[in-house]
Structures are given as C-alpha cells and as structure tokens.
C-alpha cells in the first residue's frame, strides 16, 4: 500500500479507461455471450433460438467425438508437458556444468520461442513429409512405413514433437534461472557431506526446483491446451480421422466449420472452466508472491 498518491480523481479513470473498455468489449461481453449461447439452441435455419438449459452440455459431454477430443487432449498435453520439461531440465543441468560457452548455448537454445506454433508445425511436417522430408527418408529406408498424413500414431508423434520442440526454450530458460537461484552454499555443503553428484541432484537440487517445476507444469499444460492450435491446424487439421483433434480444435471446428453454435458455446464454457481451475490451482500453490493491494 502506498503512503503517498496523487490526489486527482478524474485522471485515474481516464488512464484505466482504454484497458477497461477493451477488456469489457472483447473479454467480458464475449464470455457472457458464450455463457448465454451455451444455454440456447438454434433451429436448423438459424431463425429461432430457444432456451434449453443444460441440454447443450449434456449433449456435448455424451458425444463420443467430444470424449475422443478430450482423450486426445489429455494424451497430447501430458506428452508435450512431460517431454518439454524433461528435456529442458536435462539440458539446463548440463548447461550448469559447463563453464565456457554458456551464453552461446543459450542463444542457440532460445530460437524456437520466436517461431510461430503454426510454422513450427510446418517445419516438422516439412522435415518428416512422407514424400520428400529429409528425415522421413531414412525412416523409409529402414523399412518403416512412415506416413503422418495417414497413420494416426505417426500424426500424433509429429504434432507432439513439434509442440515439444517449440516449448523447450521456454522451459530451459526457467530451469536455468531456477538452478542459479539455488544457494551455492547448499551444494557446497552437500559436496562436503560426500553426496555424489547424482545423489545431490535428486535430494537437493530437484526438490528445491519444485516451485519452478510446478509453475512450468501449469504453463506447459495451458500451452499444450491452447497455444498448439496452430500446430494442429497447420499440420494435421485434426486428422487423420479425428486422431489429433484437441478440445480447442474442436471448438473452432464446430463453431466455424460445422457452425453448431450451441455445442461450440458449451465447449467454450467447459474450456473456460478448465482454465479457471488451472489458474486457481496455480495461485493456490505457487503464486504466493503476488501481493494484492
């Protein structure tokens, strides 16, 4: 709480006005509309709407296609979050061990952060394109019938690889920062206590990294849920079949391609609930550093 402030009364309102206006028009109003629509049903010609209560939700949650999307999302997110964090942690630990060239490695490591998800997907598709991908070629030479455009597992592997690749740089930077924040004296004490490097890592470093790990877990989950839309849209279009159709992709597909408004709105509301739950979860456990006031 500040002791001193400016005494003006009107000026602060003018200062928050732009952000408030944009927030209200582009955030609250649409969110409210999504809630409203999720309770309505449009007839086949889009002429009449009627209130149907929770029917849309019941329909969505009973829809095998939706449950499939849910399953795809869980598998996809878990794999991306785990791989992106594990690889980044491993590399961050290696980076801590080297003396020279740290900043050189870091510079090369952060590129993918700047690459748009959709382009990341296209790059991987290009490398693994069944007909002319340079990296698909050796697979085919080895007799693997590699085809991410037709094989559901291959498609999933490809989008997971692209999504993981893009997220490694972000996780790497956080793990490096987290490792550097661990007090040197603790590691020195462990070394004097005779702990082996491996033992010291699992008993001291890893537990002390827990806040970073936990934070990244939430961030990576949100990333896998939402930001990977571009990868899936650009690489597989949810296919083959519906093998890579995630929840967000399905909202988009039902709302803009298939034009089923009530369903799409109900799905939006479910997604909002998921985000709110994740955010609340995050605050409950790690955001104690944020001070309100």
Partner 1 sequence: MAEASPLAPRGAGRMVAHFWMILGVIVVAFPVYYVFIASTHSTQTILRPPLPLLPGPEAAANYRDAFTGGISKIGGVSLWRLLANTTIVAMGIALGKIAISMASAYAIVFFRFPLRMACFWLIFITLMLPVEVRIQPTYKVMVDLGLIDTYPGLILPLIASATATLLFRQFFMTIPDELLEAARVDGAGPWRFFRDILWPLSLTNVAAIFVIQFIYGWTQYLWPLLVTNSNEMNTIVIALKKMISFADADTPWNLVMVTSVLAILPPILVVVLMQRWFVKGLVETEK
Cβ 156 vs Cβ 71: under 8 Å: no
Selected binder of partner 1 within 71, 90, 203, 257 (CB under 8 A): 90
Query: Per-residue string for binding with partner 1, 107-126, x by CB under 8 A?
Result: xxxxxxxxxxxxxx-xxxxx
Q: Which residues in 200-226 are b (16+ Cβ under 10 Å) and which e?
A: bbeebbeebbeebbebbbbbbbbbbbe
If binding is defined by CB under 8 A, does position 289 make contact with partner 1? yes
Q: Which stretch binds partner 1 (CB under 8 A): 49-57, 72-80, 142-150, 188-196?
A: 188-196
Q: How many residues bind partner 1 (CB under 8 A)?
A: 113
Q: Give which of 198, 204, 205, 197 is closest to 178, Cα–Cα.
A: 205
Q: Which residues in 65-103 are b (16+ Cβ under 10 Å) and which e?
A: ebeebbebbeebbebbbebbbebbbebbbebeeeeeeee
Residue 64: CB minimum distance to partner 1, A: 22
What is the C-alpha to C-alpha distance for residues 215 and 220, in angstroms, rounded to an integer? Answer: 9
- Who's near 120: CB < 8 A, 6+ residues apart? 112, 162, 163, 165, 166, 230, 231
Which C-beta is closer to partner 1: that of 48 or that of 291? 291
Cβ 251 vs Cβ 271: under 8 Å: yes
Considering only residues 221 through 260, tell me which ones interact with partner 1, judged by CB under 8 A: 222, 226, 229-230, 233-234, 248, 251-252, 255-256
If binding is defined by CB under 8 A, does position 34 make contact with partner 1? yes
If binding is defined by CB under 8 A, does position 59 make contact with partner 1? no
Residue 210: CB minimum distance to partner 1, A: 14
If binding is defined by CB under 8 A, does position 74 make contact with partner 1? no
Selected binder of partner 1 within 70, 82, 105, 151 (CB under 8 A): 105
Which C-beta is closer to partner 1: that of 63 or that of 226? 226
If binding is defined by CB under 8 A, does position 87 make contact with partner 1? yes
SS3 category, 129: coil
Residue 284: CB minimum distance to partner 1, A: 14
If binding is defined by CB under 8 A, does position 187 make contact with partner 1? yes
């Amino acid at each position: 709480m500040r002791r001193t402030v400016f005494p003006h009364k009107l000026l602060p309102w003018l200062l928050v006005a732009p952000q408030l206006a944009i927030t209200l028009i582009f955030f609250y109003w649409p969110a409210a509309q999504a809630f409203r629509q999720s309770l309505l049903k449009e007839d086949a010609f889009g002429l009449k709407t009627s209130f149907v209560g929770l029917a849309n939700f019941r329909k969505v949650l009973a829809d095998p296609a939706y449950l499939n999307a849910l399953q795809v999302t869980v598998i996809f997110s878990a794999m991306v979050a785990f791989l992106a964090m594990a690889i980044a942690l491993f590399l961050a630990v290696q980076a801590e061990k080297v003396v020279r060239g740290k900043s050189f490695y870091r510079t090369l490591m952060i590129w993918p952060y700047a690459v748009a998800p959709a382009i990341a997907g296209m790059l991987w598709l290009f490398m693994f394109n069944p007909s002319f991908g340079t990296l698909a070629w050796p697979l085919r030479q080895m007799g693997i019938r590699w085809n991410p455009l037709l094989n559901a597992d291959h498609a999933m592997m490809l989008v997971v690889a692209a999504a993981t690749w893009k997220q490694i740089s972000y996780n790497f930077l956080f793990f490096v920062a987290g490792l550097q924040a661990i007090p040197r004296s603790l590691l020195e004490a462990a070394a004097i206590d005779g702990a082996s490097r491996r033992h010291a890592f699992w008993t001291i470093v890893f537990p002390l990294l827990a806040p970073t790990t936990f934070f990244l877990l939430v961030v990576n989950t949100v990333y896998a849920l939402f930001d990977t839309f571009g990868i899936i849209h650009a690489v597989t279009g949810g296919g083959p079949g519906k093998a890579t159709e995630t929840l967000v992709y399905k909202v988009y597909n039902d709302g803009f391609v298939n034009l089923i408004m009530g369903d799409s709105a109900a799905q939006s509301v479910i997604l909002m609930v998921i985000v709110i739950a994740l955010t609340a979860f995050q605050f409950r456990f790690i955001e104690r550093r944020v001070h309100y006031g």
